[in-house]
Chain A
Amino acid sequence: MAKQWREIYDEWEKAVAPGLQQFTASDGFRDFMAASAKVTSALTVEFERASRRWLHFWNLPAATDVRKLRQQVAAVDRELKGLKNLVFEVVAAAPDEVAPATNGKAASVPSRATDSKPAAKKTAAKKPAAKKSAAKTTAPDKAPKSDRSAAEQPAAL
């Protein structure tokens, strides 16, 4: 008895599935989906515009404002990453002459004989191999935290 309902379903599925697959693969269905996506998108835009006007009237931020902010933050983050990589490359290319200073500007590093304090900077200059990979230390089965070792992280960033 337990299998009887399954047999009935399997028979139904065998009869219906090919037709359904053919339908979802047809040009007509694709056109319908394209039109549906277009209408949904247009309606969403219109609804957002109306609600934004209403919220702005009361001097309240709308979801689109938050979205714009998040996108701006993401863009700044990307730019920062690019700059970081650039600094790594500069440090690796000229290890004895240029190193990033704490104020964000490149500064000259004292000669190794006289410099006794910024050990991290010196180590960074000595190990160009880790310059680009932005490698991070390990944590079991967790996304690594930004505890990059001194050898790999210029002091300015």
Chain B
Amino acid sequence: MPPTTLTKPSPKNGAKGAAPEADAAEFNPFTGFAPFADMWESGMRRWWNLTRHVMGIDRAPVGQTPRDAVWSNGKAVLYRYRSESPTVRPPLLLVMSLVSRSFILDLQPGNSFIERLVAEGFDVFLLDWGVPDEEEANNTLETYCDELLPEAVAKVNQMGGHNGVTVFGYCYGGLLSLLYAAGHPDDPIRNLVVMATPVDFTKMPAAMTGVGEGGIDPAHLMDHTGNVPAEAVRASFTLLTPTSDLSTVMDFWEHLDDDKFLSSYQAMTSWTRNHIPFPGATMIQTVEMFNEGNGFVTGDLVLGGRKLDLADITAPFLNVIAERDHIVPPESTYGLDELVGSDDATEMRLPAGHVGLIVGNGARKRSIPSMIGWMLEHSDVES
């Protein structure tokens, strides 16, 4: 029964035998119905939020920072974020993973890595690989690291006034950035930053490395397009924390009357539940080079017929590690600063998860300022 002042015993008359007149005298019609009103309001809001979530009404928008597409090749698109007057040089190129959507870097106003970078004066570019289909099924690591990335970097460099480029790779995008930088030492890379990037594949979770020799044959994962379907990609992440989906639903139900929570929930789930297919040929190459060969650690990296060496990366280098990362565990990323040839190589360990590096309160207060601080130190800042 809901609490109400109507049944509260009067201290004057005691619990028993309290005169109805006395109780009635204590009931305040202006505040007495407040608990009922609160319950009613909360209940109605829950039903409304549930209805609009299920019906897809007024869903939380993502990727709101204004931008322009400035280059494309196939499905890969290079975006430049609008900025009144960028004060930081060189421009910053964000390289996204192949299996997840890029709007995680620009989730929502007030909770956006890119928005923050633009506000700090960076000239921000984002390389979005798009959603592959049959056309991209034969894309290899060479396609990304020897064709698309060099073209995108050249474009950014040209648009940024030939000051070089800070390349910033996230997750698998970091892996691509490392291969690209090692294979193109003469390209105008001013700084290289990789974040939550797998290096030692022997220390990766079994669900991420179960494909290959002695495990799942990559060919058995391909769908009719020749790519690994998005559902399979998502399943591999779900297997890392099997109860996480259920916990997310519980969070949703618990905070259903909170409009702000619902907005964040919709934005995050639209990312975590919408992966993109992994190009088949790249998948096979990744399995051979990294799952089976552990290429970064053994040094057995061959791209386009030539041997790569991480020691050829001489630009200032930052390796950002999330200490609570369950997708790319920190132990699989330690020591990368010693593998590259940069004299100025830094390893930054942050108390966050894989996504928490760039999304949420922790990111806003700790991770993002730390990364921005390093990049500002290695850039030219106009006053």
Say yes or no for B224: interface residue by CB 8 A criterion: yes
Q: How far is the CA of A20 from the CA of B210 in the complex (A)?
A: 17
Say yes or no for A141: interface residue by CB 8 A criterion: yes
- B243 near A144 with CB under 8 A, answer no
Task: Determine the chain B residues whose CB is within 8 A of the CB of A113 once the complex forms.
Answer: none
Say yes or no for B344: interface residue by CB 8 A criterion: no
Minimum CB distance partner of A72 in chain B: B134
A74-B135 in contact given A30-B206, A37-B221, A63-B224 (Cβ < 8 Å): yes
Q: How far is the CA of A78 from the CA of B138 in the complex (A)?
A: 10
- B138 near A143 with CB under 8 A, answer no
- B69 near A139 with CB under 8 A, answer yes
Say yes or no for B146: interface residue by CB 8 A criterion: no
Over the window 72-95 of chain A, the binary record of Cβ atoms lying under 8 Å from chain B Cβ atoms (1 yes, 0 no) is: 011101100100000000000000
Question: How many B residues touch A, CB cutoff 8 Å?
Answer: 43
- B217 near A20 with CB under 8 A, answer no
| Nearest 9 A/B pairs, CB to CB | A74-B135, A37-B220, A41-B220, A25-B206, A138-B68, A20-B242, A24-B239, A34-B216, A70-B134
- B243 near A13 with CB under 8 A, answer yes
Q: How far is the CA of A21 from the CA of B155 in the complex (A)?
A: 44
Q: How far is the CA of A129 from the CA of B260 in the complex (A)?
A: 48
Closest CB-CB distance, A34 to chain B, in whole Å?
5
- B70 near A77 with CB under 8 A, answer no
Say yes or no for A49: interface residue by CB 8 A criterion: no
Over the window 226-253 of chain B, the binary record of Cβ atoms lying under 8 Å from chain A Cβ atoms (1 yes, 0 no) is: 1000000000000111110011001000
Query: A67-B224, A74-B138 are known contacts; what are 7 more A-B pairs with Cβ within 8 Å?
Result: A6-B254, A16-B243, A25-B206, A70-B133, A78-B138, A134-B151, A141-B79
Closest CB-CB distance, B247 to chain A, in whole Å?
6
- A140 near B242 with CB under 8 A, answer no
Closest CB-CB distance, A135 to chain B, in whole Å?
5
Say yes or no for A142: interface residue by CB 8 A criterion: yes
Q: How far is the CA of A53 from the CA of B71 in the complex (A)?
A: 45
Task: Determine the chain A residues whose CB is within 8 A of the CB of B368 once the complex forms.
Answer: none
Say yes or no for A52: interface residue by CB 8 A criterion: no
- B221 near A136 with CB under 8 A, answer no
Task: Determine the chain B residues whose CB is within 8 A of the CB of A2 once the complex forms.
Answer: 254
Minimum CB distance partner of B128 in chain A: A143
- B72 near A34 with CB under 8 A, answer no
Task: Determine the chain A residues whose CB is within 8 A of the CB of B70 once the complex forms.
Answer: 135-136, 138, 144
Q: What size tier do the contact residues of chain A reach?
A: 35 or more
Over the window 1-12 of chain A, the binary record of Cβ atoms lying under 8 Å from chain B Cβ atoms (1 yes, 0 no) is: 011001001000
Enumerate 8 A-B pairs (CB-CB under 8 Å) in ascending A order: A3-B254, A9-B250, A38-B220, A74-B133, A74-B137, A135-B71, A136-B70, A144-B72
Q: How far is the CA of A9 from the CA of B251 in the complex (A)?
A: 11
Q: How far is the CA of A34 from the CA of B134 in the complex (A)?
A: 24
Q: How far is the CA of A41 from the CA of B207 in the complex (A)?
A: 19
Minimum CB distance partner of B238 in chain A: A24
Minimum CB distance partner of A38 in chain B: B220
Over the window 122-157 of chain B, the binary record of Cβ atoms lying under 8 Å from chain A Cβ atoms (1 yes, 0 no) is: 000000000001110110000000000001001100
Selected from B155, B216, B243, the residue in CB contact (under 8 A) with A20 is: B243
Restricting to A44-78, which residues have a CB under 8 Å from any CB of B? 63-64, 67, 70-71, 73-75, 77-78
Q: How far is the CA of A134 from the CA of B72 in the complex (A)?
A: 7
Task: Determine the chain A residues whose CB is within 8 A of the CB of B73 once the complex forms.
Answer: 81, 133-134
Say yes or no for A112: interface residue by CB 8 A criterion: no
Task: Determine the chain B residues whose CB is within 8 A of the CB of A136 once the complex forms.
Answer: 69-72
Q: How far is the CA of A151 from the CA of B67 in the complex (A)?
A: 24
Task: Determine the chain B residues whose CB is within 8 A of the CB of A73 once the complex forms.
Answer: 134-135
Say yes or no for B77: interface residue by CB 8 A criterion: yes
Say yes or no for B20: interface residue by CB 8 A criterion: no
Minimum CB distance partner of B152 in chain A: A133
Closest CB-CB distance, B227 to chain A, in whole Å?
12
- A78 near B135 with CB under 8 A, answer yes
- B210 near A133 with CB under 8 A, answer no
Task: Determine the chain A residues whose CB is within 8 A of the CB of B69 once the complex forms.
Answer: 136, 138-139, 141-144
Closest CB-CB distance, A108 to chain B, in whole Å?
29
- B241 near A17 with CB under 8 A, answer yes
A144-B71 in contact given A24-B207, A71-B134, A71-B226 (Cβ < 8 Å): yes
A132-B151 in contact given A34-B216, A78-B135, A143-B72 (Cβ < 8 Å): yes
Say yes or no for A150: interface residue by CB 8 A criterion: no
- A33 near B216 with CB under 8 A, answer yes
Task: Determine the chain A residues whose CB is within 8 A of the CB of B56 once the complex forms.
Answer: none
Say yes or no for B29: interface residue by CB 8 A criterion: no
Say yes or no for B205: interface residue by CB 8 A criterion: yes
A37-B72 in contact given A71-B226, A133-B155, A141-B67 (Cβ < 8 Å): no
A141-B68 in contact given A6-B254, A74-B137, A134-B73 (Cβ < 8 Å): yes
Minimum CB distance partner of B226 in chain A: A71
Restricting to B59-84, which residues have a CB under 8 Å from any CB of A? 66-74, 77, 79-80
Say yes or no for B376: interface residue by CB 8 A criterion: no
- B158 near A129 with CB under 8 A, answer yes
